[in-house]
Structure 1
């Protein structure tokens, strides 16, 4: 089993002054609009992209270091710090880094540290201001760049690679139906891209290789949209087109094939979400913003079952505004996100409300509607 993120800390990242959040195999973020839910997802995404694409690329994608660090009214700009704790049955690890400004648009890595305990072996390294402070002797020979993280290079030394693989194996999704509706040029067959722009290529590869979860994908799709019996991918010219097989008359076994341009937003989004959740190999973490969008409330329970099942092989982190979805997950997996005087605070549901749910007086959705979920101790 790969390392799972059990704790995230962030200092001066966007709306976070200082936060520490415990994460479960399935964690559900709940809060008002603009409370900072997406910012927590972006802490992990920024970490993953900084390692996978490079720190400069990750910062540029966010329009510069000034758009990432918390706003300061006067004085010196804040340094941004991220720390992640990871655990598995065989290992425990931590990884952190601090990025500061040099000039207006320039930045530097002020500190980076990683430690891991794996099968009785303890390894760690720390870098301050471009200099090795602590590390195995063979690592100290590696030259350092002040504007880049070292873990992508250090990952070649076992078991630091376990940390690198866990953090770069995360995937973040906001599925857009309009992206799925158009014919798609051949793309990478894995992983599914953020908005589903390579859905056809991923589904085609899943069918070609006999993905072990393909029968589950088909079965769940049929539970949510009962007249869909199957799907296929056709190549038309230089494009891939996903076709859904609709069972028009089960008695006479009449079927009709429709490409995605003829399907509803809800059907498209469900297909995209299920593809993200059933792709193989499983990402180390799957993040989805508001999976309930365009989904009929009557099948939210089915979607919740898939999320919980997926959490057995991939860590799952979602945001939601749906009381129905909240009712389908353990109340202890919910984190309440609030904005207090311009700063985001995150914590579990408070003890009184957890007690009311455990005593079966109310559901989390009931409490959300009646008084709102309240944040407890962070």
Structure 2
């Protein structure tokens, strides 16, 4: 990553989570999920958000938003008794120092001048009798052989370097990491990273057209409804707005620039269209196509500040013309120096872009009563090389996968 302050998401692990009995998703700078409808692509994005929601709000609320523990636990040939989710990530040394300086908790970087690889996750299951749930295990592990924390939550207590005796979760249905983060710098850095690093988007042109009341957010909401506020924030930097306008001009013929305005307490988005005679006029979001609005929101997601470590975009091709799709993927490829990007797609045109190489593709398939994640087979990798592409393989039903799926072997939380 070009920005040494970034967090790098390395891997997501899920077990007993909705359609997934056991799977691991390894992340590249650009990762593309391909699979039929209902295969489980959206579930992987939801699992990332589930960890964030559980730590940002509460585990109770994160579960309730998803229908409760019983709605999440895997049902299949081997019904799961509980569910587990874990994220492996790297915290850079600059990021650690910034968090430690901001919190005043203090810590010594020591031999970890290159940063720290961390894994965080938890296992939860229904209480006996089926009423409610409980946390059965919570793990926050790092390079403990170098003096960093390795903590396992079993009986509501986290023990780790520098923690006072008796740091507890408040109850069996609460996670302990937020409480441990009040006392230890590394836990605080890990918590902050998990709460801010992942942003997933299912963008809605209808929500963008609603133009809600003025706000001060610089982070784009999941459906893109606050696109005007984010655009206004980026207008303060000439480089950012020039980048957005340059790509919009290539996406929508005749479009010259986009800017914000204010009316009746609302943040408006205005598009300037230039005509062949040299004149032009401004149009509002109600006059623009769904595709143009989605493209604007995707560009904002890539350029928002502070930049998330991982930006996830569902169905990149939705409402977007194939020619505009190429421009979007150019922008995404260029943005991988700022953040990682995860895309889901069914589009042969999207998968034909040069950025979508075989190494970046993960195929999600429903097999034997469970969703599984596969890399491409060696033969498919070879067939996807230029002048052919992954998109051509999809179009000819030749997107063959490796024999074995990507799954966690050994202990779910500590397996390499």
Select 1:85's aligned residue among 72, 75, 88.
88
Confirm or deny that 1:230 pairs with 2:233.
no
Q: By how many angstroms is 1:117 displaced?
A: 3.5
Runs of 4+ residues over 4 Å off in structure 1: 72-75, 118-121
Is the contact made by 2:29 and 2:341 (CA closer than 8 Å) also made in structure 1?
yes
Matched with 2:75 is: 71
Matched with 1:365 is: 391
**Range 43-52 or range 183-192, more displaced:** 183-192
1:1-378 counterparts in 2 under 5 A? 1=4, 2-71=6-75, 78-87=81-90, 88=92, 89-102=114-127, 103-117=129-143, 121-132=147-158, 134-136=159-161, 138-145=163-170, 146-156=172-182, 157-169=184-196, 170-207=198-235, 209-210=236-237, 212-249=239-276, 252=278, 254-328=279-353, 329-358=356-385, 360=386, 362-376=388-402, 377=404, 378=406
Structure 1 or 2: more strand by fraction: 1
- Structure 2: unaligned runs, 5 residues or longer: 93-113, 407-416
Q: Alignment partner of 1:319: what SS? A: strand
Q: Which string of whole-angstrom CA distances, capped at 9 and with x for unpartnered residues, describes residues 161-194 of structure 1?
A: 3322322121110111111112321234221100
CA distance in 2 between partners of 1:159 and 1:74 (Å): 38
Distance change in 2, residues 1:361/1:237 (3 Å): closer
**Range 26-35 or range 221-230, more displaced:** 221-230
Q: Alignment partner of 2:399: what SS? A: coil
CA distance in 1 between partners of 2:329 and 2:179 (Å): 39
Aligned length: 372
CA distance in 1 between partners of 2:30 and 2:335 (Å): 9
CA distance in 2 between partners of 1:323 and 1:26 (Å): 17
CA distance in 2 between partners of 1:60 and 1:222 (Å): 43
Distance change in 2, residues 1:73/1:369 (3 Å): closer
Q: Alignment partner of 2:275: what SS? A: strand
Distance change in 2, residues 1:138/1:119 (3 Å): closer
Distance change in 2, residues 1:43/1:214 (3 Å): same
Q: Alignment partner of 2:190: what SS? A: helix
Is the contact made by 2:228 and 2:260 (CA closer than 8 Å) also made in structure 1?
yes
Q: By how many angstroms is 1:214 displaced?
A: 2.2
Q: By how many angstroms is 1:274 displaced?
A: 0.9
